[in-house]
Structure formats: C-alpha cells, structure tokens
Structure 1
C-alpha cells in the first residue's frame, strides 16, 4: 500500500460546529504517516470557527481557511473549495464533508493507494449511516448504492462521469489544468460530479471501493429535505457530457418502459406466465449484481427490498423531472 504520498484532507464546513466536533477526530486518528487537514469555514454563523481553533490548539496538522461572503461568490461552495485547495501544502487532495466519518483508520491509506502512476483522480464510496427502523433511511442508502454501482461501472469501463464529494481524491495539478471549477462556477452545485465529468478520463481515473475506504455521513431526516437535495443533483446532471446524458437517460427510460410493459401485459393477460418469467429473471440477475455490490460496500440489508425501492425511485425521478421544468432548486446552504 502506498503510504509515501503526502495527503491534504479538505473539509468544507458551513455551520457545522457539532459535526466537526463529532467527526474530525476520526480523521485525526487515521493510520497514515503524512497528512494535514484543511478545514474551510465557509462564512459560518455558528461556532464553527471556535471549534476549528480548538482542534488547532491540540493538533498542528489542522489548517483553517476562513471564507468571507462577497457579492461575486455569495454562498458558492466552489469558491470556498478553491481557497482550500490553494491553502493545501500537498498536491494530492482528499475531499470529504463535515458530517462524514471514515469507517476505518485506513481510509486515507486506501484512497492514497489509488494514486498509481498516471492516476490523478480516485473515486470512493460515500455512504450513509444506517437506521434499521427507517424506511426513508433505507431508500436513501439504496439510491446511493445504485448511483455508486453506476459511476464505478462507468469509470471501470473507461468513461468516468461523476463522483461524490463525501469521498473523492484528485491532484491539484489536475485541478489547475482544467482551470478548477471555472467552466461551471455559475452553477452552485456540481463541485464533485461536474468536476469529475469534465476532468475524468479512462487514463487518469480509478476507483477504490474497499470496505476500509468507505466514509459515511448523516442522511436527511425527512422526505422533503431529501427530495430537494435530489432535485439539485438532477439539475446539475443536465450539464454532463452529451454521451453521459444520453446513456443515463436511456437507463432511466428502459426502467420505466419495462415496468409499464410488465403491468400492461399482466392487465391484458397476454402471456402471463412468460411475462412473470421475464420479471423473475430480471429480478434474479439484478439481485446478483446488487448483492455483490452491497457486500463490497457494506449495504447488505438493502438487497431484499430493491424491487420496491426501484419502483419508488422511478416515480420520484419522474416527479423531480417535472418539478425542475417549472422551477430551479436552491443550492449550497
């Protein structure tokens, strides 16, 4: 495992005092010989600055970047991240959120090991903490798992199209080569997926999905908050490369057509045994894929519910598409 690369862990925080208190210790406790933590205080109005100062007193590896709001970049996370990247002393950068916790002490080691010769971007898995009593929690985690299966698969096939800022690494060299977030700075969201969509190639991107390389964060507690979050993500996806928009659209259309066709054939009683057999085969094949992915990413409890979640997500994505046609969602806090 490559432990010779100095790493700068970058955490952007806006009114995250309590989360920083809870989760920064899990980063400081990493088994990695050479890393710093750059915490960006993005114009917080709570005790975020005080909490960062407390950590700085006990650990010299903590750096603070204080961001003041200005007219040109009001509330823009990309502006805050750019300042954090400029502050970092190391060229290899590892990003996570203030409400995220690495799930092992070897998180940095595994993500750093992805930086093999020629590799400038490493995609990791950022999951959510489990709440076995909550249907919404399972739904959020299933959608996250499905998205991870897609972006890992595309990257493995040589066409990376997105990553998640909860667990993403790249070099400052790559950042400056494509002029950072300049091409989509006018969009409040997309600091992770739009950056990967623009900068990722078959030759410079790899995936790390070892169970020790996972981070987990706090999911939304109610459906409205999560729905609005997904609206923001979908609105950004409209700025992906054309080939990615086409392939992702075809995937969604194929899912809708399958279920509509299945229901229509059952209602009309046309070859019901054949129709049910096709459904059974589809569920078995998908179940195998989901089970293997869930094993790797420690989400095994989700596999048994995937047909229900799949139908729910299809309906929700249609509602989001219609909502985004009439109004644009709000962005970074």
Structure 2
C-alpha cells in the first residue's frame, strides 16, 4: 500500500515537472524583432554603497555605451569608503553624470529603496535603466538593446544579469541558480504573469514608478527594490522581456558558499510578499521537484528499476532539452554538463535557505 502511494507520488510529481518544463520552453520562441533604431533619452541609475573599486573598474563600460542621449545617475548610499570621491572624479570628466549623495536617514537607515527613490526623482528622463555598481554590460549596445523594447504600451523591460565564469564549484552553482531564476521570470512574463526582475538589468519608466507610489508599500522591507516593485507594477500588457545577447550585463559572483548563502537569504526573504499565485506556483515547482527526487530514490531501492527508469528518463531528457536550449539562448552552456547534479544540489541548498529564513530574517542590503 505504501509502495503504491510512493509510486503515484513519483508519477504525479513527474507530470507536474514536465508541465513546468513546457512553460519554461516558452522563452525559446521569443524572437528579437528587428526594429527601427530609436534613441529615446535614458537615465541610467546606479546605486552604490562602499563600491569605490567596482565603480573604477566598471563605470567606464557604462560611460562608453554607443548611445546618443543618456545620463548617468550615481547614487552614493551613505558609503564609508571613497565611493563619493570616485564618483566626483568621473563627474569632472563627463558632463552627463549626476551625483545624488544620500546621507543616513534615521527613518530609513540602511534602506536602498530610499536611496533609489532620491535617484529616480533626480533623473531628467522618463525612461530609466538600472544596474549595479559591480556590473558591466557585455557590449556597447546594452542601452540600445534594452530601450528598443519600450513603447507606448511596454513600460517595463526585464533583462538578464549574468555572473562571470570561474573554475569553482560555487561559481557553477551560482551561475546555474541565476540561469534557472531567469528562465522562470522570463517564462512567467512571456505567459502573461510577470513576477520579478533583477536590479542588475532592469528598465522602467518614471511614470510607472510614481503610478505605484514607488516603493512606499514595501519601504520597510530591506530587499525587493526590483522584484517587489515588479510584483506591484508589472502586468501582461506593460511588460516586455529582452533576450538579446547584447543586452546582458555581467557581474562578479560570490566567491564562497557562505557569501552566496547570505546573499540568497536576503533575496529569498522577499518571496513571502509575492502575490499568492506566484508564491503557489514557485513553491509547487520546488515542492514537486523535492518529492520527485525523494520518491525516485525510494522506488529505485524498493521496486523494479525497469518500471522506474523510463519515467525518470523522460524527466532527465526533458530537463536537458529545455534547459539545454535555454542555456544556449542565455549563453550559459557550460552549466549543462553537470545538469542533474546541479538540479539536485540546488534543491537542497534552497531548502536550507528556507529553513534558515524561517528562524531569522536578513536585514541590510549591504
């Protein structure tokens, strides 16, 4: 009786996972349409806290974008290092740079959203493009590629933020998790239910920001300046996705498991504030995957492998097909070589984050 129940769980969770794979495959059919090049005025916004070295290394790649009309809003979020001095040195050389110097406010201590709000208000242009101080575009056409998706209806553009490749296991896991997250939020948006974006590569209009009263509804939550805003503002009508390879940004990844664990705890903590439907479907994906692997392992020991292997094989084949083509699209092909192992290990890692966040909550954004 128990064995039969486990088998039914195995079959049911396999079916659920295959449905998710089918949904994820929707991004494979997104075509980057050739559009008339338009050079709308853009304000690039970078919020930096203790980022003097990253600004020196990566800000030139923003300044040298091949785009006619853009300004750069540099927000110094109460840094304790020489971030402000670095910003001022760049401003002396480039007239299109504007500095917003944010000092600690007792009511919004350590709150990135407060600093971002001041930067957005200081922006001259209607169209805003966001990235982080530790990011650089992969090409000089980043601004052009992202802004091509703006239109009278499309006021939010979701982009992809990659991590640099390093020859370590942690790096492989970080890049796989980033890749999986991108598949999810791109496919949800493609299917008409956008739920998040990443601040490393995100664009929206000033009007859209003020339409939702900015971050005011979740200003008390330390993280979520990107995904919680998208939760509130994005719809199937006003949201576009950009998969053009020239639109990607790339960042320095966390180098240790401890550092990455702390980062992901902060990111995952915002999920409890998502709309119920997004919480449900995101949770169902990982819950069904968990029970799929648990039931599969039990059945391989308790039942004939001849019965289990074909079903398990369909799962692995589907995983490789959807993730393989998606990895090619997002230029993450190297993660595919260790796909089943990464799939399982990431599941365990995320489960440990869930347990950790249940007992304590992360605080500051830096």
Aligned to 2:46: 11
Please give the per-residue CA displacement for 1:163-214, whole angstroms capped at 9, x wherever unaligned.
0000000000000000000110010000000100111000000100111000
Aligned to 2:320: 287
Could you say which structure has the greater relative contact order, defined with CA pairs below 8 angstroms and 6 or more residues apart? 2
| 5+ long unaligned stretches in structure 2 | 1-35
Aligned to 1:74: 109
Determine the C-alpha separation between the residues in 2 that align with 1:167 and 1:215: 7
Aligned to 1:32: 67
Q: Is the 8 A contact 1:91 1:171 kept in 2?
A: yes
Matches within 5 A, 1:1-333: 1-131=36-166, 133-268=167-302, 270-333=303-366
SS in 2 for 1:5: coil
Determine the C-alpha separation between the residues in 2 that align with 1:117 and 1:280: 46
Determine the C-alpha separation between the residues in 2 that align with 1:134 and 1:116: 42
Q: Is the 8 A contact 1:3 1:33 kept in 2?
A: no
Shift of 1:267: 1.2
Determine the C-alpha separation between the residues in 2 that align with 1:197 and 1:108: 24
TM-score computed with the length of structure 1 as normaliser: 0.98
Determine the C-alpha separation between the residues in 2 that align with 1:136 and 1:237: 23
Aligned CA-pair RMSD? 0.9
Determine the C-alpha separation between the residues in 2 that align with 1:181 and 1:282: 40
Determine the C-alpha separation between the residues in 1 that align with 2:51 and 2:226: 19
SS in 1 for 2:363: coil
Q: Which has the higher helix share?
A: 2
Shift of 1:2: 3.6
Determine the C-alpha separation between the residues in 1 that align with 2:317 and 2:115: 45
| 5+ long unaligned stretches in structure 1 | none
Determine the C-alpha separation between the residues in 2 that align with 1:193 and 1:91: 21
TM-score computed with the length of structure 2 as normaliser: 0.89
Determine the C-alpha separation between the residues in 1 that align with 2:49 and 2:364: 13
